[in-house]
Amino acid sequence: MRSVSIHCTSCGKAHKLDEAIFRCDLCNEPLEIEEISNGRINKGNILTQTIWERYEDFYPFLDKNNRFTLGEGFTPLIEMKDLAYSIGISGLYMKNETQNPTWSFKDRGTAVGIMDAKRLGYKRIGTVSTGNMATSVAAYGAAAGMETFVFVSKDISEEKINPIAMYNPHLIKVEGNYGELYFESLKIGKENNIYFINSDVPMRVEGSKTIAYEICEQLNFQMPDYVIVPTSAGGNIRGIEKGFREFKSCGLIDNVPKIICAQSLGCSPIYNAYYNNSDAITRVEKPHTIAHAIENPYPPSGNQVLRLLKNNGGIATAVTDEEILKAQALMAKEGILGQPASSVPLAAIIKLKEEGFLKGNEKVVCIVTGSGLKYTASFAMHQLYSAECELNELSDYIKENY
Amino acid sequence: MRSVSIHCTSCGKAHKLDEAIFRCDLCNEPLEIEEISNGRINKGNILTQTIWERYEDFYPFLDKNNRFTLGEGFTPLIEMKDLAYSIGISGLYMKNETQNPTWSFKDRGTAVGIMDAKRLGYKRIGTVSTGNMATSVAAYGAAAGMETFVFVSKDISEEKINPIAMYNPHLIKVEGNYGELYFESLKIGKENNIYFINSDVPMRVEGSKTIAYEICEQLNFQMPDYVIVPTSAGGNIRGIEKGFREFKSCGLIDNVPKIICAQSLGCSPIYNAYYNNSDAITRVEKPHTIAHAIENPYPPSGNQVLRLLKNNGGIATAVTDEEILKAQALMAKEGILGQPASSVPLAAIIKLKEEGFLKGNEKVVCIVTGSGLKYTASFAMHQLYSAECELNELSDYIKENY
């Protein structure tokens, strides 16, 4: 365990990693751990190795004696040749994060959060979420034997609360301004010795780095032109960009792909600021999108994502619910069933190609963040087909109709 | 591509693999491909290797030019120390098959079925299922560009039909005796050039072998005492047993673990026959269990599973819905949320320990076959807890209550 520096992404102020810290005590912007520039991949048998062992060099701040895993990561990267051809780009890949222990990318950051909480001696963890992150933290907290607090909004639906409750956390429906809860939870955590693994805390960013590492390995270190990330709080896109940056610093790849921040037009605070050439996001007053998993009206890493895009040369874009549903259906017809938020990158590619931003010779990676089974209500928004037939007429029916 | 023999599991009659064959033309019992006894593991980087490449030696009958994958397999094996301790056995491991592309073990066999169908020149595939297998075949058929037929029963619920329909197969609700449809579909397939990848066809058995191969690698070739498989048609348990047997023939492991066939008492045709010392299963007339995914009243590989248990030294057992729900909750509290059928192995372990069959010094592997999100209705059958609190009282509330 080596001490590394952590600094504010905005003002640069250095902080100490020897306590649970999440945001700059000066400007309240998110913190980031220093870039690792001397790491190597531990090339072992993945069947007996965790992602934390394989990429151990990139986590000098984690205690080897406090490793924890439920088998997150090492998810497939699937090439979609037909879809690339029909859209008119040279390569399209889907990083299928639905194949994680709780069926979303959140498990990577949750694992790092748990390990950091254990390192610091915490016995309690928590999170503020009604979706992927809530189930992930509830599952990992339970498995790690931590007392686990999950704050959800009071009007959460049965479909959403039940899978969280199955893992048996302290599940609290909070009445009041749910938008304030992110910042409130950090205070509550301090007062009650609860380590809050919220959406964009430094350790979540560190967890998401592994998505980039794996993509590098899976593409044999030949970088795509773009990586498109559905973006809500901003933790995942920050981690993915940092992962590529670190592999470049370590000489493992030659260049960092351009990052595209993809949002839903029904809630696109980062895209709005990007579009208006602003350095700071403003709160979306009435968010409304089918892509619930990225419906964050005031993303706590929003400003940092804007800075990240500027440094990286990436862009922000946003798509309509209609485009999202169309993309969800297209992906399913290629065998990958993502939740609506996970279809935003494909919708963005189609739009960016139509607008001429993508010329046609690009290779693009989409991050498929969570399983379609997470939000089954979206299925009913599609035109779904089935036929009916009597058993004894079935063979003839097929001959006649197909 | 090397030709291998395929023979009847009951009468031994040899058949030819140069056409789509599923059952013995003499006695109508299931067929099985010859045991591979000279295979080696291709030890490559799993991030750039498919399970079919890693275990290529064990698939001499597959055409390398017709490989197909959506990233199935290489699922985690998670040690559950606390649960083992509280039950009173020396080791407990969960093979988490929910981390597959359509979130169940079915994807392994579907991939092999697709490759076999392609090898034989088929452009159409199909299946008879209302659950995990239906979504798996629909997804893989779509991705492989095959015309895909899925036969479901007429009274299928919305929750079950929608995720299948999302992959856009030819989805046909069949009126009539759904129990007959398995055998009828094989005829319909012949008449209409559709390759039916049903529940226990030889290629599904070949797909499930990889579960055993991975367990061997994950346990560093030190075998557990028992492997417990939730059993419906019998294809998965047959594949897993064959996988261990092949690794032993190849000298990769010293002994084959004993296999436990675990069923739900509400539909336990194999357990019933085993219990009555019968060589043949009889149809369960009124199946009724919460473990829908294994609710097969007349499993087409039932007799072969009985033979397998006799040769292997394994046993059959069955548990109640109440025990299944209790096990589902226990697993979730350790971070793994399986569908009810996937909780049957843990329920079986608890029962077998209480009955004294398990002494306490055993190591046991459970196969967690499918995701809890597949059957969310089961969540409502649990006592789920949540509290309510106003935001400004939250910190005090936690201090007082936890």
Q: Give DSSP secondary structure letters for A228-240.
A: EEE-SSSHHHHHH
A contact test, residue of B50, B188, B385, B386 with most A CBs within 10 A: B386
Task: Specify whether the CB–CB gap between A295 and A287 falls below 8 A.
Answer: yes
Can you list the residues of chain A whose pLDDT is less than 70? 1
How near does any CA of chain B get to the CA of A323, in Å? 16
ipTM above 0.95, yes or no: yes
Q: What is residue A159's predicted lDDT score, i.e. its pLDDT? A: 86
Does A387 contact B at CB distance below 8 Å?
yes
A372 interfaces chain B, CB cutoff of 8 Å? yes
Can you list the domains of chain B with their CATH numbers?
Answer: 77-103+202-381 (3.40.50.1100)
> A46 CB near a chain B CB, below 8 Å?
yes
Beta-carbon contacts of B120 under 8 Å, excluding residues fewer than 6 positions away, are B18, B19, B20, B195
Q: What is the per-residue pLDDT for A399?
A: 96
Q: What are the helix and strand counts (H, E) for chain B?
A: 13, 14
Among B143, B174, B402, the residue with its CB nearest the CB of A391 is B174
A70, A159, A387 member nearest B78 (Cβ): A70
User: Is B145 part of the contact surface with chain A (CB cutoff 8 Å)?
Assistant: yes
Those residues with Cβ within 8 angstroms of residue B339's Cβ, 6 or more apart along the chain or in another chain? B291, B293, B369, B370, B371, B372, B374, B375, B378
d(CA A302, CA A280): 7
**Would you say how long chain B is, in residues?**
402
Place of tokens 């449809």: B181
Question: What DSSP character marks residue B326?
Answer: H
Q: Which residues of B touch A47 (CB under 8 A)?
A: 46, 74, 214, 217-218
List CB contacts (< 8 A) between A96 and chain B: 71, 101
Q: What is the per-residue pLDDT for A376?
A: 92
Residue B1's pLDDT is 67
Q: How far is A5 from chain B (nearest CA, A)?
A: 31
Question: Number of Cβ pairs closer than 8 Å across A and B?
Answer: 273
Q: What is the DSSP letter of B256?
A: P
Please indicate if any CB of chain B lies within 8 Å of the CB of A101.
yes
In the block, tokens 């001696």 appear at A121
B161 and A99 in contact by Cβ < 8 A?
A: no
Chain B contact for A99 (CB, 8 A cutoff): yes
The verdict on B70 touching A (C-beta cutoff 8 Å) is yes
List residues bridging with B358 in a β-sheet: none
Alpha-carbon distance B161 to nearest alpha carbon in chain A (angstroms): 9
Q: In chain B, whose CA is at the least distance from the CA of A379? A: B162
Q: Which residues of A touch B102 (CB under 8 A)?
A: 337
> Are B329 and A75 an interchain contact pair (Cβ–Cβ within 8 Å)?
no
Instruction: Give buried/exposed letters for B192-209 (b at 16+ CB in 10 A, else e).
Output: bebbbbbbbbbbbbbbbb
The minimal CB distance from B173 to the residues A147, A382, A388 is found for A388
Q: Give burial (CB, 10 Å; 0-12/13-18/19+) of A358.
A: buried
Q: Of A163, A109, A78, whose CA–CA distance to B382 is shortest?
A: A163
- Residues in B closer than 8 angstroms to A139, CB to CB, are 332, 335-337
Under an 8 A CB cutoff, do A385 and B188 touch?
no
Contact A330, A347 (CB under 8 A): no
Question: φ and ψ at B333, to 5 degrees?
Answer: -70, -10
The pTM for the full model equals 0.97
- Nearest CB to B71; choose among A78, A167, A334: A78
Tell me the chain A residues in contact with residue B96 when contact means C-beta distances shorter than 8 Å. 71, 101
Decide if A397 touches B, using CB distance below 8 A.
Answer: yes
Provide the pLDDT for residue B367. 98
B391: which chain A residues are within 8 Å (Cβ-Cβ)?
174-177, 180-181, 184
Confirm or reject contact between A385 and chain B (CB < 8 A): yes
Point out the residue among A172, A373, A384 whose CB comes nearest to the CB of B386.
A172
Averaged over successive runs of 10 residues, the pLDDT of chain B (402 residues) comes to: 89 92 94 96 92 97 91 98 97 98 98 96 95 97 98 90 97 88 92 96 98 98 98 97 98 98 98 98 95 95 98 98 98 98 98 98 98 95 96 96 94
- Whether residues B398 and A142 touch (CB distance < 8 A) is answered with no
Closest residue on chain B to A149 (Cα): B398
Spatial separation of the C-alpha atoms in residues B141 and B136, rounded to whole Å = 8
Q: Which of A45, A154, A217 is the closest to B48 by Cβ? A: A217
